[in-house]
Homo-oligomer: A and B are copies of this chain.
Amino acid sequence: MERKDIRRIAVFTSGGDAPGMNAALRAVVRTAAWNKLHVYGIERGYEGMIDGHFKRLERRDVANIIQRGGTVLRTARSMRFMTPEGRAMAADHLRAYDIDACIAIGGNGTFTGAKIFSEEHGIPFIGVPGTIDNDLYGTDYTIGFDTAVNTAIEAVDKIRDTADSHNRLFFVEVMGRHSGYIALYTAIGSGASSVLIPEAETDLEELKAVFRKNKARGKLFSVVIVAEGHPMGGAAGIAAQIKDELASMEPKVTVIGHMQRGGAPTAADRMLASRLGHAAVNRLLLGEENVAVGVISNEVETTSFDDAIHKEKKPKSSLIEMASILSI
């Protein structure tokens, strides 16, 4: 069956917000306008699709948003979209607006919804990977990851000032519910003493040995980066388990938290978002569908939703090893 010409598209952001989503939206709208497409923005992701919250977006509507954190379309997690009834309502709205295809900016859950919906209702989707966690297969980096890492590193730089003044040990928890990407990059970038992530075995005896050695060598402070999703219970869990060892170092636990999701996107995130938003429209016009765009080895590539959703992406083991060598 031949595909309908693409004349009208919808775009939305969904799932957890990530800095750079606005830059991606801008690129979608402007590339679409350049190609004479009509664009509708859907508010609050699948929720707005179900409720019919659509608005026409023209070039000037996305002026002056490239530098803004969050997403001007707002975002949500939608329970209703997990039901056939919810999806049917969403499909009705898309048909009412005569939408030929959708561009979905989000993460794993967003792509899963898109795949199921597209199979049920025959509307083509392109996914744009927007999530700070970087745990999506099909792209070297996801939109928002570079900003989140920079935010975490700036926080650790500040904590280091006070750790350095005081002879202290800090356990700093960064985001990443299932993934150690943010933690690993933050640890390398901040020169942390150790990094504890789900993807690598954590040996508490070894960690204690490091502290003892550092102390013996006169190292005056240590910062340990812990991924939120560490199976021992995040930073608080780890600190609790080796408390006795650490008594003399006044260990402190800091959770950097939600500020990692916000802030003006970095240069790299603005560039990545611009490239991917631009590519999403171009790939759609070239006939691709139900794929996610990504940048792999500096080139734009596409990956089937199936692979993007199910294949695993993990930090390179060479980086984990390097982190350990450089921390000493």
Show the binding face of A for B, using Cβ within 8 Å: 13, 17, 19, 26-27, 30-31, 33-34, 59-60, 63-64, 66-71, 74-76, 140, 146, 149-151, 153-155, 157-167, 170, 185-186, 188-191, 217-220, 252, 254-264, 266-268, 270-271, 274-275, 278, 297-298, 319, 322, 325-326, 328
Contact = CB atoms under 8 A, between A and B. Distances in A.
**A-B CB proximity, top 3 nearest:** A158-B262, A297-B297, A161-B262
A180 to B, nearest CB: 15
Given A34-B328, A189-B271, A298-B140, A70 B258 contact: no
A89 B220 CA distance: 25
A278 B161 contact: no
A76 B304 CA distance: 51
Contact of A68 (B31, B70, B161): B161
Contact of A60 (B155, B219, B258): B219
Contacts of A153: 67, 267, 270
Contacts of A170: 258
B322 A274 contact: yes
Given A150-B266, A262-B159, A267-B153, A190 B254 contact: no
Given A157-B67, A189-B66, A167 B326 contact: no
Given A17-B161, A161-B262, A261-B158, A322 B76 contact: no
B26 A326 contact: yes
A261 B325 contact: no
21 contacts: A17-B162, A17-B165, A30-B325, A60-B218, A66-B190, A66-B191, A69-B158, A70-B161, A76-B166, A150-B267, A157-B263, A158-B263, A161-B262, A189-B271, A189-B274, A254-B255, A255-B255, A256-B259, A266-B268, A278-B322, A278-B326
A156 B218 CA distance: 34
A153 B19 CA distance: 15
A81 B34 CA distance: 42
A218 B46 CA distance: 20
Contact of A64 (B140, B164, B167, B217): B164
B298 A166 contact: no
Nearest to A147: B267
Contact of A254 (B154, B157, B165, B257): B257
Nearest to A270: B189
A10 to B, nearest CB: 18
A64 B262 contact: no
A158 B151 contact: yes
Contacts of A59: 328
Most chain B CB within a 10 A radius of its CB, from A140, A157, A170, A258 = A258
A261 B162 CA distance: 6
Contact of A162 (B167, B258, B271): B258
B160 A325 contact: no
A328 to B, nearest CB: 6
A69 B217 CA distance: 24
